[in-house]
Structure 1
Amino acid sequence: MDDTGNEGFAARLARELRAARLQAHLSTAALAAATGVSRGAVLKVESGTTQPSAALLGRLCGPLGLTLSSLFARVEGPERQDERVVRAAQAPVWTDPATGYRRRSLSPAGEDLELTEIELPAGSAVTYPAAAYARIHQQVWVLEGVLALTEGATEHLLGAGDCLALGPAADCTFRGHGDGPARYLVVTAPA
């Protein structure tokens, strides 16, 4: 189920981000300061007037105590909370309008272990701040293509079959390397 361009999805995303900010007792100014995102950009995302990129969502999620997967689970709504099986045709898909990064949520909502399939076009990059990794353990397993993953100051060039366990929280950049897209599985669990 591709949610790209789905106005209902975009409105729910805006609403859930605002609800998460309020639940965290943060003003828009405080969230902006914590993320380095302008207050105006936070307001545009929360009002649904802009389609945020994966990098922007990752920056906003950290101080809110969310992962991208948990944010998307909230957006997908309570109807998914009781699902124990996610059928391939029903797995929610979201495409970043800025990079073409495509994420498919593979895990049932509400589980501690999250499986997410990502396809990142060659040459595209997505950067997440260290705050996005502060409360989680994450492993990345490359299924196809080549992924250049920069973790802090260390670059890892990962090919099909390679798996990396991320270390202590650091800024991370994921970049599609080579001629074709990099397709990889991200496994996330609470720290």
Structure 2
Amino acid sequence: MSNIVDPLVERIAVRVRAERERRGWTLNELAEASGVSRAMIHRIERGESSPTAVVLGKLSAAFRLSVSSLLALAEGEAHGSDGTAGVRRYGDATEWRDPDTGYRRRQITGPRFPAETAEIRLPAGAAVSYPAASFAFARQVVWVLDGRLTFHEGTTVHYLGPGDTVELGEPAPCTFANEGGAECRYVVIRAQADRP
């Protein structure tokens, strides 16, 4: 087995631990708040396990943060040290891959931009679910670029094709599913809201 440590897994480990400690929570308290086992959280915080998209969704919901925030690149990477706008090259972007589904996520906007924007590539046959709490205190739009996306928003199902968008309503459990035979590529745009 390789001893090479994935830098993104290390950054996720640091971020999860920092968010937990910032709240003064024990591992048990985070496990209770998120529904993720204490053992899994411990492995994530030690950089021994790359969390799945579902686990990240549960942790982000417990922290009242977005998944993008947990995967955010280091402050200032997309900006000059003086806070001015910067250029992000496609080849320089960090891409996170869900070890369970092959779902890939690349952050488009930097940490100082007022709306989080991420590009998602969902393989054929894959599905990723998030709890309703992942969508609290946020307004979110999903924009399909390529392929077909079956989006379950609570009990409502949206069938989306290239160019279609859906603006999420009140927080509800959501599932992003690719029931087609080709990869689906879509963009998620998320802005903070004052209330859930």
Common fold, TM-score beyond 0.5?
yes
- CA RMSD in angstroms comes to 1.5
Correspondence list, 1:41-190, <5 A: 41-73=40-72, 76-80=73-77, 82-83=79-80, 84=85, 85-190=87-192
The aligned residue for residue 8 of structure 1 is 7
User: What CA distance in whole angstroms lies between the structure 2 residues aligned with 1:79 and 1:28?
Assistant: 30
Superimposed CA distance per residue, residues 40-81 of structure 1 (whole angstroms, 9 cap, x where no aligned partner)? 1111111111111111111101121221211222xx323416
Report the AA paired with residue 183 of structure 1: R
**More divergent stretch after superposition (62-71 vs 175-184):** 62-71
Q: Are 1:36 and 2:38 counterparts?
A: no
Moved over 3 A (4+): none
Count how many residue pairs are aligned between Structure 1 and Structure 2: 185
Percent identical pairs in the alignment equals 42
Q: Normalising by structure 1, what TM-score?
A: 0.91
Q: Normalising by structure 2, what TM-score?
A: 0.89
User: What CA distance in whole angstroms lies between the structure 2 residues aligned with 1:55 and 1:144?
Assistant: 23
Superimposed CA distance per residue, residues 138-191 of structure 1 (whole angstroms, 9 cap, x where no aligned partner)? 000100110011111111111111100011111101011211011101000001
Q: CA deviation at 1:6?
A: 5.3
**More divergent stretch after superposition (103-112 vs 142-151):** 103-112
The residue matched to 1:123 in structure 2 has which SS? coil
Change (3 A) 1:6 1:155: farther
Task: Check the 8 A contact 1:70/1:110 in 2, yes or no.
Answer: no
Change (3 A) 1:82 1:70: same
Report the AA paired with residue 35 of structure 2: G
User: What CA distance in whole angstroms lies between the structure 2 residues aligned with 1:134 and 1:142?
Assistant: 22
Task: Check the 8 A contact 2:78/2:88 in 1, yes or no.
Answer: no
Instruction: List gaps (5 residues or longer) in structure 1.
Output: none
Task: Check the 8 A contact 2:27/2:38 in 1, yes or no.
Answer: yes
**More divergent stretch after superposition (102-111 vs 133-142):** 102-111
Superimposed CA distance per residue, residues 106-137 of structure 1 (whole angstroms, 9 cap, x where no aligned partner)? 11222220111101001101111111111111
**Whose Rg is larger?**
2
Change (3 A) 1:72 1:118: same
